[in-house]
Amino acid sequence: MNKIISLLMTVSMVFMFAGSAVADLNDGLVTYYPFNGNANDESGNGNHGTVFGATLTQDRFGASNSAYSFDGNDFIKASASILPSTERTASLWFKADRVDNHLCQLGYGGGGVGPPGTSWFMCGNPSSFHMSSHWGSNAIEFFNNDGSVGEWFHFAVTTDSNGTKLYVNGLLKASNTTFVTNTIVAGRDLAIGVITSVVS
């Protein structure tokens, strides 16, 4: 099987409140996709995903049917309406065989007609991990000369009134003073495996 991209990941989206030194995963949990044989949201909010072509595979622990593989055309779509638009943490695990087409693992929101962008994209590509909106707005980036392929990576971005921070494998890799507060989520999609879903 000739795959353009093989991306395996689990995704969780969490509100992290400013000032919390240690966060309880359930405190402010908005969506949680452990991919336990399906794309159901197990946060209790019922924001289940619909799978478009992605196939179940092994996760980082070798458990069958616990991650999804994407071939470059596949994705999972859910509603972005309940997702955070200001203070938030977005976190995911992924393993890619190739990311030479600048793959984004997660995208949601958007819909503005011009800069600044009103979306949230998390991308691990051949040279960096980055989060940004359309038109490169709200960007934060960690340049990774080793590339983001061939192994599992934990990728997390948090934003609050103190700014935005990007973590790779639990280590702070980049930070800035930008508080991303303009993500439009009402009536928009969450897309996993691509920047934005193409099926309405």
CATH number, domain with residue 137? 2.60.120.200
Mean pLDDT over residues 184-188, rounded?
89
Residue 111 lies in a domain: yes
Please name which of 176, 9, 194, 179 lies closest in space to residue 84, comparing C-alpha atoms: 179
| Domain count of the fold of the chain | 1
Q: CA–CA separation, 166 vs 200, rounded Å?
A: 31
Is residue 127 in a domain? yes
- 168 is a domain residue: yes
Mean pLDDT of the chain: 78
Q: Is residue 12 included in any domain, yes or no?
A: yes
> Do the domain assignments include residue 169?
yes
| Euclidean distance between CA atoms 122 and 120, whole angstroms | 7
Q: What is the mean pLDDT of residues 165-173?
A: 93
Give pLDDT tens digits for 90-149: 888 888 877 665 577 888 888 766 666 778 888 877 778 888 877 677 878 888 876 667
In tens, the pLDDT along 12-42 reads: 444 333 334 445 666 778 888 889 999 999 8
150 belongs to a structural domain: yes
Average pLDDT over residues 65-85: 88
- The pLDDT score that the predictor gives to residue 19 is 38
Q: Which residues contact 171 (CB under 8 A, 6 or more apart)?
A: none
Q: In terms of residue numbers, what domain contains 56?
A: 7-19+27-192
Q: 103 or 164, which is more confident?
A: 164
The Cα 108–Cα 195 span in angstroms is 8
pLDDT at 142: 87
Residue 163 has pLDDT above 80, yes or no: yes
Q: What is the rounded distance in angstroms from the CA atom of residue 163 to the CA atom of residue 62?
A: 36
Q: Domain for residue 43, yes or no?
A: yes
